[in-house]
Amino acid sequence: MPKKYHIKPTPAAPRFIPVGRSGIIDWEEDCLKCTTCVKKRCLYDVYKNRAYDARTLVDSIDYQCKNCFSCIQNCPRGVLSKTINPEFLRMGDAYWKPDIIHNTWFQAETGRIPVSGAGYRGPFSGPGFDAMWTDMSEIVRPTRDGIHGREYISTAIDIGRKQHHIEFDASGAARIEMPPLVEIPLPVIFNPLPFGNIGISVTLSMAAAARQIGGLMYVTPETYAPFLKPFMSQLVPLIPADMDVNAPMLQGVRMVELHYAPDILAQVQRLKSHCSERVVSIRVPLNPDAKTITAALTRGGVEVVHLFADYRGNEFVDGDSPRFVKDALRDVHTHLVNECIRDEVTLIVSGGIALAEHLPKAIICGADGAAIDLPLLIALECRVCKRCVTGKSCPVELQNLDPAYGAQRIVNLMCSWWSQLIELMGAMGIRDVRRVRGEAGRAMFFEDLERDTFGAIFGGQSK
Amino acid sequence: MTAEIKKTASRFRHTIGKYRVVRGRQCKSCAGCVVTCPHGVHFKAGARMGTPRDYLCVGPDICKQHGTYCVEKCPNAALSVAINPQIKALGDFRWTAELLMSTWYQAETGELPTVDMEYRVGNSGGGFDKLRLKYPETLPSEIAADDIDTSIELNKREDNAHRITISLPLYQGGMSFGSVSDNTMISRAKAAMLWNTFGCTGEGGYPEFLYPFDRHMITQVATGLFGVKEETVQRVRIVEFKYAQGAKPGLGGHLLGDKVTERVAKMREAVRGSALFSPFPFHSVYSVEDHKKHVDWIKAMNPKALVSVKVSTPADVDMVAIGSYYAGAHIVHLDGSYGGTGAAPDIAKKNIAMPIEYAIPKVHRFLVEEGVRDRVTLIASGGIRTAHDILKAIALGADGVVEGTAGMVALECTRCSSCESGRGCPRGIATTDPELAEMMTVEWGAQRVYNLYASWRKQIVAELRKLGMRSIRELVGRTDCLRHLDYN
């Protein structure tokens, strides 16, 4: 058995005071100056450790306050009050919500799984990935004890073409050559960032993190520069189909990815004839045509198809109702299964993968692995303010990031995601992430449960 | 302490209310507002006016109608009333600020709040929060409140085990020794005893201070087998196997080394300071047959004991339930994924296993189809917050419920969810820090939980009267008494 995979987290405190959820309001007039002020009795010493960053106008208390209300309720004159910090609510957008940003910051800082008491706090279900639950096993089905137990749960995947069958000649020798495979220990590839102050420091942080976790990272001709040379075996150049095979950014890489174009198979052939050891992937936009395109590419011998949605997880269609990545992906996967060719091709999916649970959910919906982007930037303290999009300065000065520190933040996030992937797989009773792929039977979908339960009871159509 | 409602005010100076009443410096302490306000918001403290008890304020709209609006009547224009901005920071989708505040109010008074607050449902947008009770248009006859029975039977197998009837359709979820303070455990146990129902030791062993409540305790046998002894199994009338828990379905537990104090280590028969793992699953149970050996093992030690099987809610929860029944369980306890009191990974609470609202009817229907529904008691938990949640769970097919978080809220938990941080709970509930644990007395805690149950019982009785039912047992599986806001 190979050495057990492990990611080691190291705490990496934020460089800037994070924007907090609370807004503590302190009307100091009327204060009685009690000798045992409630502020001194704060269990978390948030008043003692209070700091204010005048440059970014952020008060540390808003991030450190745990919302216990003890000071608010015990101050004799009631001069303390609290509410939600409007700056917190303004972070992100309708998909990348403030809670997602907070959750990611915590993991990037600590490498730990977010844990809390007193039950679940969110909505019953929601759009996108929130409309599915993963399954667990007990008594009547075997379970896997991943985190605490004796069982090793593998999160590795192989990227590349899988042979449908092997032919042998009369002498018993295999007649075909095995196609190249790239094994990554975590089913995650770092995607190009959709926006952000992507200077050398951010790129280096990502590359160094990819190396530490044994993973891969896409690089475009625009971001490639000689400083990335030490990381060639981590890089997956994302290139135009007609790129010169001798370009420096293609030397020493294990995999390349081409943008889809109608004549793409010829270009794949060209690249493969130059270097057959390199896996070639095709990046295909998720839309209603993706399933026929993916099937055609698979039949044409393509090794990997990367299906990408927009950064909020919506497919690319004109009109108001794009499908979410989970549904569009299931459609492609199911089509390939029905065509009996699913096992031959590797599917990578990207777009809207925001939280650790989205990774196994995307895999259940049919991907072999996922490419992630914005979570990496958020791990580097990005507040998703998108000021950079209009050329304004970055509030967390990503251009001045120390790559070693940035890499650690990303490694911490991946450590936490890895632990959570194992938690969900252990509960599902699956020991190898390759077996999670397409296992819709180990998930429960909102629309199915709702129909089978309340639809059966209350009849008729839901409103 | 006797079994009656007693007003039990907050331990904190200011109870958080829906409205905020501010008294300005113009106040001349004329005490006119004390007379104007029928709700006791204003009071005199010596020569001056006390800080308003604004959690009792019912708001401007009602007071304007009744001519009791203090703001208008104050001769010095010293008062102002507005929605309390603090409540924005309180609560969440499942436990809204109004649910928390109305639960605190019930724990204080044993009554529903007089303030206009939503005390029945939260804001999660699904499940219980979209279900409503549906009443018949006409009732054959009026039923007196005293004639309504809220008790349920826990042993339906008609075997040699105890016959146990509990007076409320609920008992308490396990909270381990070491996870909550001693006073919290005793308070809850005492309230359970006064209501003739059951508390539960959780998996952390059976501390001596619970011995006086033996007849009303359930002891838990969980995957770590911590503190499980022949003697503890024989103390009780109900033994609960915890196969899984809703907060972390399919996952084990991890008690950090620094939580394993001398006392905790002794109780769990472990070494102080070394972390303790509760594995998942029981490494001795991988089938219903294995499970039956477990049940037989308990029955050999305590033949009269009822056996409860606490399971989570996977896609095949119906198979788990029927298997548990045939292995000899008296109680099948389904713990849905949105509940739990202890610290658990957020990813598990949100994503693993199905919400209890789906699991109850699935299991109920299956047990009916298999012809065994009337021979097993079906208990639901994991997100039961209010009396209305209890009624809905029963109408969906449960016999009764298990309560956990609501009882914590009665003890003034704000659900800040930092149970595990630092020294423990800032409200002195889920902590073993001696100083923090002293924030609460048993007398106070037991009365608060007692009051909450009292208020719940009154609501259950009132709703059963409207439904024309004499017993909560008539409501089991009566989905025709429910409507869902998404369906016509």
Over residues B437-455, mean pLDDT? 97
Q: Does B25 touch chain A (CB under 8 A)?
A: no
CB A360 within 8 A of CB A437: no
Count CB atoms within 10 A of the CB of residue A8. Answer: 10
pLDDT tens string B380-405? 999 999 999 999 999 999 999 999 99
Q: Are residues B155 and B78 in the same domain?
A: no
Integer Cα distance of B277 and A71 in angstroms: 35
B53 occurs within a structural domain: yes
Rounded CA Rg of chain B: 23
Q: Are residues B171 and B265 in the same domain?
A: yes
Closest Cα of chain A to B147: distance in Å? Answer: 30
User: What DSSP designation does A280 have?
Assistant: E
Alpha helix positions (H), B438-487: 442-467
Residue whose pair of structure tokens reads 């909270």 in the numeric block: B175
The sign one gets for the Cα dihedral A156, A160, A165, A171 is: negative
Q: Does B423 touch chain A (CB under 8 A)?
A: yes
Q: Are residues B472 and B389 in the same domain?
A: yes
Give me A422's structure tokens: 């194992």
B221 occurs within a structural domain: yes
Closest Cα of chain B to A373: distance in Å? Answer: 20
pLDDT at B21 (0 to 100): 93
What is the residue-level pLDDT of chain A in tens, covering all 463 positions?
A: 567 899 999 999 999 999 999 888 887 777 889 998 999 999 999 999 998 888 878 888 988 999 999 999 999 888 898 999 999 999 999 999 999 999 999 999 999 999 998 899 999 999 999 999 999 988 887 777 766 656 889 999 999 998 888 889 999 988 877 899 999 999 999 999 998 877 899 999 999 999 999 999 999 999 999 999 999 999 999 999 889 999 999 999 999 999 999 899 999 999 999 999 999 999 999 999 999 999 999 999 999 999 999 999 999 998 889 999 999 999 999 999 999 999 999 999 999 999 999 999 999 999 999 999 999 999 999 999 999 999 999 999 999 999 999 999 999 999 999 999 999 999 998 999 999 999 999 999 999 999 999 999 998 656 5
Closest Cα of chain B to A316: distance in Å? Answer: 27
For A22-90, the fitting CATH number among 3.40.50, 3.30.200, 3.60.21, 3.30.70 is: 3.30.70
Q: What SS3 state is found at B282?
A: coil
Nearest of B280, B377, B258, B279 to residue B329 by alpha carbon:
B377
pLDDT at A460 (0 to 100): 64
Q: What residues form DSSP beta bridges with B217?
A: B199
Q: Does B24 touch chain A (CB under 8 A)?
A: no
Q: Does B473 touch chain A (CB under 8 A)?
A: no
pLDDT tens string B128-148? 999 999 999 998 888 999 999
User: Whats the size of chain A, residue-wise?
Assistant: 463
Q: What SS3 state is found at B400?
A: strand
pLDDT at B283 (0 to 100): 80
Task: Select the residue from A26, A104, A136 to test the B interface by mutation, using most B Cβ atoms within 10 A.
Answer: A136
CB-hemisphere CA count at 13 Å for A228?
33
Q: Does B293 touch chain A (CB under 8 A)?
A: no
CATH fold, domain A157-449, is: TIM Barrel (3.20.20)
Give the pLDDT band of residue B420 (cuts 50, 70, 90): confident
pLDDT at B77 (0 to 100): 95
User: What DSSP designation does A390 have?
Assistant: G
Contact B320 A139 (CB under 8 A): yes
Integer Cα distance of B291 and A218 in angstroms: 50
Residue A313: CB partners within 8 Å, gap ≥ 6? Answer: A95, A128, A129, A324, A325, A326, A351, A352, A353
- Residues in A touching B487 (Cβ below 8 Å): 454-455, 458-463
Q: Are residues B286 and B359 in the same domain?
A: yes
pLDDT at A149 (0 to 100): 58
CB B98 within 8 A of CB B118: yes
Residue whose pair of structure tokens reads 């045509």 in the numeric block: A289
Contact A123 B124 (CB under 8 A): yes
Contact B352 A143 (CB under 8 A): no
ipTM of the complex: 0.94
Contact A462 B486 (CB under 8 A): yes
pLDDT at A433 (0 to 100): 97
Closest Cα of chain A to B131: distance in Å? Answer: 10
- Residues in A touching B281 (Cβ below 8 Å): 137-139, 143, 145
Scanning B343-382 for CB atoms below 8 A from A yields 343-355, 357-358, 361-362
Closest Cα of chain B to A117: distance in Å? Answer: 4
Q: Is B68 exposed, middle or buried (0-12, 13-18, 19+ CB in 10 A)?
A: middle
The 3-class SS string of B337-394 reads CCCCCCCEEHHHHHHECCCHHHHHHHHHHHHHHCCCHHHCEEEEECCCCCHHHHHHHH
Residue whose pair of structure tokens reads 């000649």 in the numeric block: A169
Give me B257's structure tokens: 């080394």
- Find the closest chain A residue to B324 by CA distance: A139
Closest Cα of chain A to B484: distance in Å? Answer: 7
The answer to whether the predicted template modeling score (pTM) of the entire model surpasses 0.90 is: yes
Contact B354 A75 (CB under 8 A): no
Nearest of B462, B454, B472, B468 to residue B377 by alpha carbon:
B472
Contact A454 B484 (CB under 8 A): yes
CB-hemisphere CA count at 13 Å for A38?
21
B137 occurs within a structural domain: no
| Domain range list for chain A | 22-90, 157-449
Integer Cα distance of B157 and B164 in angstroms: 12
- Residues in A touching B436 (Cβ below 8 Å): 43
Contact B86 A81 (CB under 8 A): yes
Nearest of B115, B59, B127, B102 to residue B389 by alpha carbon:
B127
Q: What are the CA-CA distances from residue B362 to residues A457, B339, B365, B396, B401 (Å)? A: 11, 19, 5, 9, 16
Contact A119 B94 (CB under 8 A): yes
Q: What SS3 state is found at B436?
A: helix
**Regarding beta strands A443-445 and A132-134, do their DSSP bridges make them parallel or antiparallel, or are they unpaired?**
antiparallel
Integer Cα distance of B420 and A30 in angstroms: 35
Give the pLDDT band of residue B60 (cuts 50, 70, 90): very high
Closest Cα of chain B to A420: distance in Å? Answer: 7
- What value does the mean pLDDT of chain B take? 94
Residue B182: CB partners within 8 Å, gap ≥ 6? Answer: B207, B209, B437
Q: Are residues B284 and B433 in the same domain?
A: yes
- Residues in A touching B278 (Cβ below 8 Å): 148
- Asked if omega into B212 is within 30° of 0 (cis), the reply is no
Q: Residue B47 belongs to a domain with what CATH number?
A: 3.30.70.20
Q: Residue B219 belongs to a domain with what CATH number?
A: 3.20.20.70
Q: Is B375 exposed, middle or buried (0-12, 13-18, 19+ CB in 10 A)?
A: middle
Closest Cα of chain B to A52: distance in Å? Answer: 21
Q: What SS3 state is found at A172?
A: coil
Q: What SS3 state is found at B475?
A: helix
Residue type for position A378: I
Buried-exposed string A313-352: b where 16+ CB fall within 10 A, e elsewhere: bbbbeeeeebbbbbbbbbbbbbbbeeeeebebbbbbbbbb
CB A160 within 8 A of CB A341: no
**Regarding beta strands A80-84 and A346-350, do their DSSP bridges make them parallel or antiparallel, or are they unpaired?**
unpaired
Q: Does B223 touch chain A (CB under 8 A)?
A: no
Scanning B233-272 for CB atoms below 8 A from A yields 243-244, 247, 249-252, 254
DSSP class per residue in B118-177: --S--SSSSGGGGEEE---SS-SS---GGG-B--EES--S-SSSPP-EESSSEEEPP--B
How many Cβ pairs within 8 Å bridge chains A and B?
Answer: 283
Residue B144: CB partners within 8 Å, gap ≥ 6? Answer: none
Closest Cα of chain B to A425: distance in Å? Answer: 9
B136 occurs within a structural domain: no
Identify the domain boundary among B47, B63, B83.
B83
CB B465 within 8 A of CB B148: yes
Count CB atoms within 10 A of the CB of residue B392. Answer: 28
pLDDT at B246 (0 to 100): 85
DSSP class per residue in A107-132: HHHH-PPPEESSS--S-S--SGGGGE
Contact B487 A453 (CB under 8 A): no
Candidates A145, A355, A455; nearest CB to B280: A145
Integer Cα distance of B369 and B372 in angstroms: 8
Task: Select the residue from B131, B251, B485 to test the A interface by mutation, using most A Cβ atoms within 10 A.
Answer: B251
The boundaries of the domain holding residue B173 are 145-484
Contact A118 B417 (CB under 8 A): yes
How many structural domains are present in chain B? 2
Q: Are residues B47 and B159 in the same domain?
A: no
Integer Cα distance of B249 and A123 in angstroms: 19
Residue whose pair of structure tokens reads 């713990």 in the numeric block: B335
- Residues in B touching A451 (Cβ below 8 Å): none
User: Whats the size of chain B, residue-wise?
Assistant: 488
Q: Are residues B282 and B193 in the same domain?
A: yes
- Residues in A touching B408 (Cβ below 8 Å): 118
- Residues in A touching B315 (Cβ below 8 Å): 135, 441-442, 444
Contact A118 B419 (CB under 8 A): yes
Closest Cα of chain A to B51: distance in Å? Answer: 7
Identify the domain boundary among B83, B106, B123.
B83
B425 occurs within a structural domain: yes
